């Protein structure tokens, strides 16, 4: 049996002309397939329309407000993170730019690599000479100082320094324990 156009009419659920309605009724009387389809469609539609609206658990709006606050806090935190990153990137860019400029100025003062090498060797030699002088001075001081005080004098000086340190540490600990200070 031919089911078209009746099958489509049923499934499109559109308004039919009186003639079409009559044809459909006639076909439904003869055709079990289309009658079954029509009954199923009606069954589904009635079943859906009879089912009530579903409610959320009470307090939905309160839970929404909490979620909104959480989201707003998250947005603020994300904004702060972004600001920190942007600041960091700007600083890094500034430092690299400064480095490049300094490098360029440094290289421009020398005409060749040989000259640069010579100057570097000269600077290094001067630095080593200065270190040597300081080392000699320190040796003289170390040899002289023990003679300035008698052994008992050194013991008294060490005692005073230890007592001073102890008082300093104790006062720091007391300050840290004071209420109102984290």
Cα-based distances in Å from 3 to 10, 41, 114: 11, 16, 99
Cis peptide before 5 (omega within 30 of 0): yes
The number of beta carbons lying within 10 Å of the beta carbon of residue 133 is 10
- Judged by CB under 8 A, the residue of 17, 29, 58, 135 near other proteins is 58
Closest CA to 3 of 26, 23, 31, 22: 31
61 lies in the binding site for other proteins (CB under 8 A): yes
55 lies in the binding site for other proteins (CB under 8 A): yes
Q: Residue 34 binds which entry of other proteins, Zn ion, none, with Cβ cut-offs from 5 to 8 Å by kind?
A: Zn ion
In the structure encoding, which two tokens stand for residue 2, read together?
A: 């031919």
34 lies in the binding site for Zn ion (CB under 5 A): yes
150 lies in the binding site for other proteins (CB under 8 A): no
Q: Residue 31 binds which entry of Zn ion, other proteins, none, with Cβ cut-offs from 5 to 8 Å by kind?
A: Zn ion
Least distance in angstroms from the C-beta of 101 to other proteins? 45
The span from the CA of 10 to the CA of 33, in Å, is 12
Show the binding pattern over residues 15-54: x = contacts other proteins (CB under 8 A), - = does not.
Answer: ---------------------xx--xx-xxx-xxx-xxxx
The span from the CA of 49 to the CA of 17, in Å, is 26
| 28 Cβ contact list (under 8 Å, min separation 6) | 6, 34, 35, 38
Least distance in angstroms from the C-beta of 28 to other proteins? 14
12 lies in the binding site for other proteins (CB under 8 A): yes
- Judged by CB under 5 A, the residue of 20, 23, 24, 31 near Zn ion is 31
**Which positions lie near Zn ion, rule CB under 5 A?**
3, 31, 33-34
């Amino acid at each position: 049996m031919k089911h078209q156009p009746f099958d489509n009419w049923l499934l499109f659920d559109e308004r039919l002309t009186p003639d079409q309605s009559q044809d459909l009724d006639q076909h439904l009387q003869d055709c079990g397939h289309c009658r079954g389809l029509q009954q199923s469609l009606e069954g589904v539609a009635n079943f859906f329309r009879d089912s009530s609206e579903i409610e959320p658990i009470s307090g939905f709006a309160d839970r929404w407000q909490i979620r909104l606050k959480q989201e707003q806090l998250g947005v603020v935190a994300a904004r702060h993170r972004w600001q920190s990153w942007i600041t960091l990137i700007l600083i890094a860019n500034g430092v690299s730019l400064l480095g490049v400029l300094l490098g360029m100025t440094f290289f421009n003062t020398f005409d060749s690599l040989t000259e640069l090498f010579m100057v570097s060797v000269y600077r290094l030699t001067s630095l080593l000479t200065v270190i040597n002088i300081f080392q000699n001075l320190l040796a003289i001081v170390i040899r002289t100082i023990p003679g300035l005080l008698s052994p008992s004098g050194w013991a008294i000086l060490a005692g005073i320094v230890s007592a001073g340190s102890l008082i300093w540490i104790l006062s720091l600990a007391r300050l840290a324990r004071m209420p109102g200070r984290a």
